[in-house]
Amino acid sequence: MSNFDMSDYDSFCKVIHETILLFEELIELENKKIDAISENDVNLLDQYMNDEHAYLMQMRGLDYKREKMQEQLGATGLPFKDIIEKFDGIEKETLNSLCENLRTKTTELREAIARVKKLIDMHLSSINELLAKLEGGEGIYNKNGEKPPVEPPVRFTPTKA
C-alpha cells in the first residue's frame, strides 16, 4: 500500500490479534459450557452464559475498532483478502498470517458453538421425554410450540363374555 500510516497498519494488526485472542477465550468458554452441560450443572452453565455476554460486548468493540482502522487504511468494506493485496513485503506476510489465524479461530469457534448447540438439543430432548413420561404427556409442547391433543384416559376395556 503506497500511502498509509504505519501506525494505522500496526493498529489494524493489533485489533486482529486482539480478536484472535478473544476467539480463543470464547472457544475455551464453549468447551467449559460443554462440561457444564455434561455434568448437568445449570448454575455453572448460566454463569458461563453471562460471561459469554461480556465477551460478545468486547467483540462488538473490537469490530468497531477494526472498521475504523480499515477506514483509516482506505480499505472500508473490503474483505481481508483484498486488504492484504494492498500491502507488500513483511507487512503483507504479517497481515496474511494474522488473517489466516483469524480464519482458523473463526472455524474452531463455529465448531465449538455447534457442539454446544447439539449437546443442548440432546439434553432438551431427553428432558422433554422425561417430562412427557412424568406428566403423562400433558403440558408438553411439540417442535412447533403447540400443545398436542390429549386423549381422554380409557376407563373401560372391552372384554368377551
Q: What is the pLDDT of residues 41-99, one digit of tens each?
A: 889 999 999 999 999 999 999 999 999 999 988 889 899 999 999 889 999 999 999 99
pLDDT classification of 1: cutoffs 50, 70, 90: very low
- 30 and 112 in contact (C-beta within 8 Å)? yes
3-state secondary structure of 74: coil
Q: Which domains does the chain have, with CATH numbers?
A: 6-134 (1.20.58)
> Closest Cα partner for 16 from 89, 88, 83?
83
Distance of CA 43 to CAs 19, 46, 49, 128, Å? 28, 5, 10, 20
Residue 111: is its pLDDT beyond 70? Answer: yes
Pull the grid cell for residue 155: 376407563
Pull the grid cell for residue 86: 494492498
pTM above 0.95, yes or no: no
- 82 and 75 in contact (C-beta within 8 Å)? yes
pLDDT classification of 8: cutoffs 50, 70, 90: confident
